[in-house]
Amino acid sequence: MQAHQRMLDPTPNGQNSGESPLLRTIGLTKRYGDFLANDSIDIDIWPREIHALLGENGAGKSTLVKAIYGLIQPSAGEIRWQGQRIVLSGPSEARSRGIGMVFQHFSLFDNLTVAENVALGLDGKESFKDMSARLEQVSKTYGLPLDPKREVWQLSVGERQRIEIVRALMQDPKFLILDEPTAVLTPQEADQLFIVLERLKAEGRAILYISHKLEEVKRLCDTATILRGGRKVETCNPRLETAASLARMMVGGEVKEVKAASGRKTTLPRLVVNDLSLAPAEAHGVRLEHISFELKGGEILGIAGVAGNGQDELFAALSGERLSKDPGTVVIEGIAAGHLSITQRRKLGAAFVPEERLGHGTAPRMKLSENALLTGHAASGMVRRGFIDTAATLKTVDRATETFDVRKAKRDPEAASLSGGNLQKFIVGREILRNPAVLVVSQPTWGVDAGAAAVIRQALLDLATAGAAVLVTSQDLDELAEIADRIAVMFHGKLSAPLAASEASREKLGLLMGGSSLEPKEVAHAAGA
Amino acid sequence: MELVEAIILAVLAASTPLLIAATGELVAERSGVLNLGVEGMMIVGAACGFAGAWLTGSIFIGALFGIIAGTLMSLIFALMALGLAVNQVATGLALTIFGIGLSGLIGAGFVGERITPAVHLYIPVLADIPLIGRVLFGEDGFVYFSVALIAGVWWFLYRTRAGLILRACGDNHVSAHALGYPVLRIRTFAVMFGGACAGLAGAYLPLAYTPFFIPGMTAGRGWIALALVVFSSWQPGRLVVGAYLFGAVTILQLHAQGWGVGIPSQFMSALPYLATVIVLVLLSRARTGGSTAPAALGTVFVPDR
């Protein structure tokens, strides 16, 4: 093991030179079968440091932090905590040593109260009453207000994250891991989080911060470790790097820039939504309230908003998964379609790409050709006299593969066997190849690597250039800024008036995402654009 | 007066096995496991319970046999559905079919035998109070135990940390695992508790309800217990209402048939089901917001290590 202990780059925190790292992994390796999720990773975390962990999906970030938090056992290598080698039996041991974690997909229980959720994250040595009192105190000290008696399903995403953070802080951790904490926050909520993190750092704690928002990392973090394909590529000071140079290290090459064709012309409205209201279908769903917008051919409308504000419900109402009593609420290509089924809407020239790739966008255990048939059967001649034209379905797969650079092991594999980015390219490709008049796409690049994301965004721009109307729902404001002509924000089932992309600053969008309204003058001006 | 008292006693006797079996299943389902094998565990409990009591002459040992038999049956389920992550619905159905066959085999030698049924408590003076005396102070031990059992389960689920952890496993097993709780171990215990209760409920039938064993004597009570759990929206308080309501309508419609009410007997026999469904549906509609079923119910969990 000594051989591994090579000299590491001096950390940018000069003041730490006399101390030893709080946590150090040496040659940490995690193997799943033949697959190396982590390949001998060395990382040093110092007290009073915010350390970024960067990498694309599948680079091994989650695996690494799971090993540090004791959720998985490394196959080889070691973890040193305050200079001593430790073997963690599980998260509760990690917590008792002072390692806390805030999960990306919250580890909360929807049907339990805030206080119960916090209690479950602690080790139960104090009474529920004492714990509740301490919860109140911690949440007050750090300015993270919480109502301990409410059940989690009633809370917003930002509030849920507060529970996670307070829960972690109540264990007084020396080292806190945050897995993509700002992915679901409005810009303003993210700013508040940064204040809390700076304060934790000032208190002498160390923070490991996973993110792929590079500007954020440059602003907040002292050190950045970049992983690619399970290996450590570099440890650097993000403040001395540019976003582009960090992206290069993550991807291992240049990321193609997305370009909009100049002089795109808008034509007649192809998708119109008139005063659409819809009661929620599920117990915890959102009610859509009076949603109206008009989308012309050649135009991309972006819908921003924190997840769970009615985007899923709006998608279901547009795609025909849920029908509306009044046909006039959804008009596709001039035809009232609110009462029409999914297939009938597709026949009108609409195409839909849902957020969830596996299970919603594709049937995971079916082949790509079968999946192509499932959405294209009504409109693109893959069925003849009730029989499947196998050659035509395979041709569709080949065309999508070629046009969108889908990488797969064989010609026609099961959908579930593709990586997220490749499957998403296939799904978007399958719909675009049908030359839709209207494309409704939800979270087109969620969990997709940067290369594939660029391909998909470019394809959406090209489709609009060709005259289609494109509606993109996304939580990624940078993505919307890159491709959308106008941006509207969804909040509590209501849709704001769209802002022209040039006027839609992060601040304005952030206010709308948090439920505040803009000055009336400004909205009127933007709506006229 | 005596008729009313007799009816109340009969209602308690008819409701007790449902209440015990449903209480066990409620705990299992609250941990996220759907065990459709209640009927099978009950009938094996009935056969083994009778065998135990007949061989030793002790009702208590008979009940113990029933509990052990039910627990062993539930361990088969736990091994399949939790250990090997087999589909829970299929495993539960198979367990019921297996249990019905196995109980016939175990009970074959005991058909036609009789035992002395469980004695009813008799506290002098108190038990002589008209109407409520016998009901409160002159029941068999199973009845008192079942009431204590459901009260204990309520206290466990809502007042103890262990109960909170169990509910957390049923709500979101991924989160529970991420926080470091041994989801599968907790679920195994919950399933075993369900099995023990089902076995005891089954044993109640030949030990206290009728003093002999006949094959298939549970007659669908396991399925009713399952339905009661669902209709009570997984809440112990409502489970008590549902179980006693079902027992009450069962007995009342029998008496009504005896009195010669001019309603077809088939409809009268269906009445307990109908009444229970209607009342529990009305109760669950009254609850606002929040989903009632444990969110992870019936889903397979394989921890990644």
Name the more confident of B205 and A355: B205
Shortest distance, CA B51 to any CA of chain A (angstroms): 44
Please tell me the distance from the alpha carbon of residue A275 to that of residue A290, in angstroms, as a whole number.
4
Name residue, tokens 């002395």.
B116
- pLDDT value of position A340: 92
In a domain, A471, yes or no: yes
Is the confidence at residue B274, as pLDDT, over 80?
A: yes
Contact (Cβ atoms closer than 8 angstroms) between residue A495 and residue A489: yes
Please tell me the distance from the alpha carbon of residue A358 to that of residue A34, in angstroms, as a whole number.
24
> Is residue A296 located within the same domain as residue A224?
no
Name the more confident of B7 and B225: B225
In a domain, A456, yes or no: yes
- A chain contacts of residue B289, beta-carbon cutoff 8 Å: 153-154, 283
User: Which residue on chain A is closest to B175 by alpha carbon?
Assistant: A107
- pLDDT value of position A16: 46
Name the more confident of B12 and A282: B12
Q: Which of B161, B171, B180 sits opposite A112 (nearest CB)?
A: B171
- A chain contacts of residue B161, beta-carbon cutoff 8 Å: 119, 124, 128
Mean pLDDT, residues A383-392: 84
Range of weakest confidence among A91-95, A444-448, B38-42: A444-448
CB spacing of A283 vs B291 below 8 angstroms: yes
Q: Give the pLDDT confidence of B132-154 residue by residue, as tens digits.
A: 777 777 778 899 999 999 999 99
Is the confidence at residue A248, as pLDDT, over 90?
A: no
Q: Give the pLDDT confidence of A418-446 residue by residue, as tens digits.
A: 877 788 889 998 888 888 999 999 988 87
- Checking DSSP bridges between strand A300-304 and strand A486-491, what pairing results, if any? parallel
Q: If pLDDT is split at 50, 70 and 90, which confidence band does A379 have? A: low
> Is residue A74 located within the same domain as residue A223?
yes
In a domain, A335, yes or no: yes
Give the total number of structural domains in chain A.
Answer: 3
> Is residue A403 located within the same domain as residue A281?
yes
- B chain contacts of residue A119, beta-carbon cutoff 8 Å: 161, 164
**Secondary structure class of B170 (helix, strand, coil):** helix
**Secondary structure class of A410 (helix, strand, coil):** coil
- pLDDT value of position B140: 84
Please tell me the distance from the alpha carbon of residue A286 to that of residue A306, in angstroms, as a whole number.
13
Q: If pLDDT is split at 50, 70 and 90, which confidence band does A10 have? A: very low
Inform me whether the C-beta atom of residue A405 falls under 8 Å from chain B C-beta atoms: no
**Sequential DSSP letters for A193-240:** HHHHHHHHHHTT-EEEEE-S-HHHHHHH-SEEEEEETTEEEEEE-GGG
- What's the distance, CA B59 to chain centroid? 19
Mean pLDDT, residues A290-297: 93
> Is residue A121 located within the same domain as residue A237?
no
Range of weakest confidence among A47-56, A374-383, B282-291: B282-291
Residue type, A58: G
Inform me whether the C-beta atom of residue A269 falls under 8 Å from chain B C-beta atoms: no
- pLDDT value of position B161: 92
Name the more confident of B67 and B3: B67
Beta-carbon-side half-sphere exposure of residue A467 (alpha carbons within 13 Å): 7
> Is residue A160 located within the same domain as residue A285?
no
Inform me whether the C-beta atom of residue A111 falls under 8 Å from chain B C-beta atoms: yes
CB spacing of B165 vs A120 below 8 angstroms: yes
> Is residue A497 located within the same domain as residue A362?
yes
- pLDDT value of position B201: 97
Mean pLDDT estimate for chain B: 88
In a domain, A261, yes or no: no
Mean pLDDT estimate for chain A: 85
Q: If pLDDT is split at 50, 70 and 90, which confidence band does B19 have? A: very high
**Cross-strand partners of A362:** A358
Residue type, B218: T
- pLDDT value of position B155: 96
**SS3 sequence of A40-54:** EEEEEECCCCEEEEE
Name the more confident of B149 and A172: B149
> Is residue A331 located within the same domain as residue A400?
yes
CB spacing of B290 vs A92 below 8 angstroms: no
- pLDDT value of position A464: 92
**Secondary structure class of B304 (helix, strand, coil):** coil
Is the confidence at residue B83, as pLDDT, over 50?
A: yes
Range of weakest confidence among A85-94, A259-268, B223-232: A259-268
Q: What is the DSSP letter of A380?
A: S
User: Which residue on chain B is closest to A91 by alpha carbon?
Assistant: B180
- pLDDT value of position A520: 53
Residue A196's domain comprises 2-95+174-181+191-251
- pLDDT value of position A18: 53
Mean pLDDT, residues A197-212: 91
In a domain, A257, yes or no: no
Q: How far is CA A119 from CA A89, A115, A136, A214, B235, in A?
A: 21, 6, 13, 34, 22
> Is residue A241 located within the same domain as residue A362?
no
Inform me whether the C-beta atom of residue B293 falls under 8 Å from chain A C-beta atoms: no
- Domain closes at, from A124, A145, A172: A172
Range of weakest confidence among A408-412, B8-12, B237-241: A408-412
Is the confidence at residue A17, as pLDDT, over 50?
A: no
Inform me whether the C-beta atom of residue B200 falls under 8 Å from chain A C-beta atoms: no
Is the confidence at residue A506, as pLDDT, over 90?
A: no
Inform me whether the C-beta atom of residue A283 falls under 8 Å from chain B C-beta atoms: yes
Residues whose CB is less than 8 angstroms from the CB of residue A194 and which lie 6 or more positions away in sequence, other chains included: A219, A220
Is the confidence at residue A460, as pLDDT, over 80?
A: yes
Q: If pLDDT is split at 50, 70 and 90, which confidence band does A7 have? A: very low
- pLDDT value of position A141: 86
Q: If pLDDT is split at 50, 70 and 90, which confidence band does A258 have? A: confident
The helix, strand and coil proportions of chain A, stated in percent and rounded to the nearest 5, come to: 35, 25, 40
What percentage of chain A carries pLDDT values higher than 70? Answer: 91
> Is residue A378 located within the same domain as residue A302?
yes
In a domain, A217, yes or no: yes
Contact (Cβ atoms closer than 8 angstroms) between residue A46 and residue A206: yes
Mean pLDDT, residues A310-328: 91
Is the confidence at residue B72, as pLDDT, over 70?
A: yes
The number of beta carbons lying within 10 Å of the beta carbon of residue A320 is: 22
- pLDDT value of position B284: 67
> Is residue A205 located within the same domain as residue A331?
no
Shortest distance, CA A370 to any CA of chain B (angstroms): 26
- pLDDT value of position A12: 45
Domain chopping of chain B, boundaries = 2-287
CATH assignment of B2-287? 1.10.3470
- Domain closes at, from A224, A251, A278: A251
> Is residue A130 located within the same domain as residue A25?
no
- A chain contacts of residue B160, beta-carbon cutoff 8 Å: none
Which CATH number do you get for residue A215? 3.40.50.300
> Is residue A228 located within the same domain as residue A277?
no
Q: If pLDDT is split at 50, 70 and 90, which confidence band does B253 have? A: confident
Is the confidence at residue B50, as pLDDT, over 90?
A: yes
Mean pLDDT, residues B272-289: 71
